[in-house]
């Protein structure tokens, strides 16, 4: 039976001892990353013509590193192999000119994590056994019962919560029944997707949550500024006892409250996109969409926020893997001139301002909704491309 890889995320509820050990593991993974990166930089500085130390070479250095720093033995040993793999991949992307130079990781980062490949298993309905941590309380584990866990990631996010992300191997989902329908989708701002049959799917909207997140962002910024001033004044006047920014809980609480509202928005957006993409995959056999470069479009500062809120990239990603899972077909085409061509006669009317939402073809007299016309052209181009 065919297998597919899926990601499952669970909430973790560590006790105080386990939480302390988790932070030690976060620090150890960060320490190994920084040590290997510093070694690579120093090696290049001393001899620019030397060969880069590959992943195998970095793994060979782990044993003497553990002898020099015994606290590294408190971590799952496979987590360091993952760190070396990620660093080697980062350098490969750099050499291919597809990424920047890797950066050192900071202990002050609000998001911490480590990834391991060791065996972890479910031992109860709300208990899972992790390497070095032992039995730890989680949310419901019924979704992963009997599945093979390939790797795991423990993370701490800005909301102050711990999560366990699992990569599991599951049987491939059942192929959905064929409907014989095809559709072209034009993505937009006011409407997330407009189909060639005239259906418009609204963009996700959470105005109240966004307002709350903005207010708490302002509170967090003001409280942090006051805390920074207080820390500077105290440290200037007291030479023996020094304060740190983390000693001021007022801005820490505002930061956490802001992060929780932002996470609520992200979770609801993802839920909306999952429901919409599943509906489309069930309804149509062939889906044609535009191959938009979202990162380039976000250079327009007037539209960057609404484009990010629409989550075009995530929408496309979900369609891609769901079509692959359920036996449907996704076709991507170049978006050139799709909103300028009459879908009835093929007349090219030229570019139009975004304010024009409807227009009439001067050649055949057909009246078009701009977005629906573009979706029909997208469908035609996609079907023509695949014959």
User: CA separation (Å) from 236 to 12, 224, 239, 244, 256?
Assistant: 41, 18, 7, 12, 29
pLDDT of residue 1: 64
The partner residues of 24 in beta bridges, in order of sequence, read none
pLDDT of residue 286: 92
The mean-pLDDT minimum among 129-138, 276-285, 334-343 falls in: 334-343
**DSSP conformation letters of 12-46:** EE--HHHHHHHHHHHHHHHHHHHHHHHHHHHHHHH
How much of the chain exceeds pLDDT 70, in percent? 98
Sheet of 3-13: strand order equals: 112-116, 148-156, 162-171, 3-13, 134-138, 127-130, 121-124
pLDDT in tens, 318-331: 999 999 999 999 99
- 95-151 pLDDT per residue, tens: 888 888 999 999 988 899 999 998 888 998 999 999 999 999 999 888 888 888 999
Q: What is the pLDDT of residue 333?
A: 87
Mean pLDDT of 212-239: 92
The overall average pLDDT reported for the chain is 89
pLDDT-based confidence at 296, cuts 50/70/90?
low
Q: How far apart are CA 85 and CA 97, in angstroms?
A: 18
Lowest pLDDT segment from 56-60, 91-95, 143-147: 143-147
The stretch 292-316 carries a mean pLDDT of 76
pTM: 0.86
pLDDT at 237: 87
**CB distance 325 to 221 below 8 Å:** no
Active site residue 20: no
pLDDT above 80 for 298: no
Segments making up each domain of the chain, as ranges: 3-171, 207-264
What average pLDDT does the segment 218-247 reach? 89
Sign of CA dihedral 314, 317, 318, 319: positive
Q: What is the pLDDT of residue 219?
A: 94
| pLDDT at res. 89 | 94
CA 75 to chain centroid, in Å, comes to 26
Res 364: pLDDT: 84
Indicate which residue of 186, 210, 285, 358 is catalytic: 186
More confident residue, 299 or 236: 236
What is the largest distance, in Å, between two alpha-carbon atoms of the chain?
Answer: 85
- 377: closest CA among 332, 353, 331, 342? 342
The residue length of the chain stands at 387
pLDDT of 138? 94
Give tens-digit pLDDT for 8-23: 999 999 999 999 999 9
pLDDT digits (tens, 9 = 90+) for 339-383: 888 888 887 877 877 778 888 888 888 888 888 888 888 898 888
pLDDT at site 126:
92
User: How far is 377 from 361, CA to CA, in rounded Å?
Assistant: 14
* Catalytic residue (one of 42, 210, 244, 290): 290
């Amino acid at each position: 039976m065919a297998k597919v890889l899926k990601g499952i995320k669970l909430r973790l509820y560590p006790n105080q001892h386990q939480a302390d050990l988790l932070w030690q593991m976060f620090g150890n993974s960060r320490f190994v990353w920084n040590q290997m990166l510093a070694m690579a930089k120093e090696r290049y500085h001393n001899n620019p013509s030397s060969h880069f130390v590959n992943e195998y070479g970095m793994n060979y250095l782990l044993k003497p590193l553990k002898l020099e720093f015994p606290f590294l033995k408190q971590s799952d040993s496979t987590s360091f192999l993952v760190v070396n793999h990620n660093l080697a991949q980062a350098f490969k992307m750099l050499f291919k000119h597809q990424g920047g130079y890797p950066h050192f990781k900071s202990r002050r980062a609000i998001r911490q994590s480590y990834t391991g490949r060791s065996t972890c298993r479910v031992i109860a309905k709300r208990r899972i056994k992790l390497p070095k941590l032992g039995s730890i309380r989680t949310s419901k584990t019924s979704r992963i019962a009997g599945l093979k866990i390939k790797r795991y990631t423990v993370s701490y996010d800005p909301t102050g919560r711990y999560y366990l992300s699992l990569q599991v191997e599951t049987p491939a989902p059942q192929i959905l029944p064929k409907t014989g329908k095809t559709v072209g989708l034009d993505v937009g701002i006011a409407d997330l997707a407009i189909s060639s049959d005239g259906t418009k799917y609204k963009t996700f909207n959470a105005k109240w949550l966004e307002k709350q997140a903005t207010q708490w962002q302002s509170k967090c910024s003001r409280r942090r500024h006051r805390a920074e001033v207080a820390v500077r004044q105290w440290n200037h006047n007291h030479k023996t006892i020094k304060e740190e920014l983390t000693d001021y809980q007022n801005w820490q609480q505002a930061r956490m409250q802001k992060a929780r509202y932002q996470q609520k928005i992200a979770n609801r957006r993802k839920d909306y996109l999952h429901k919409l993409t599943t509906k489309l995959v069930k309804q149509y056999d062939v889906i044609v969409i535009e191959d938009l470069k979202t990162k380039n479009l976000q250079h327009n500062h007037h539209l960057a926020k609404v484009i990010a809120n629409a989550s075009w990239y995530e929408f496309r990603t979900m369609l891609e893997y769901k079509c692959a899972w359920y036996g449907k077909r996704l076709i991507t085409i170049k978006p050139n001139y799709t909103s300028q061509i009459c879908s009835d006669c093929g007349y090219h009317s030229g570019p139009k301002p975004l304010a024009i939402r409807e227009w009439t073809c001067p050649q055949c007299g057909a009246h078009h909704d701009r977005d629906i016309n573009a979706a029909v052209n997208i469908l035609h181009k996609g079907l023509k491309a695949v014959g």
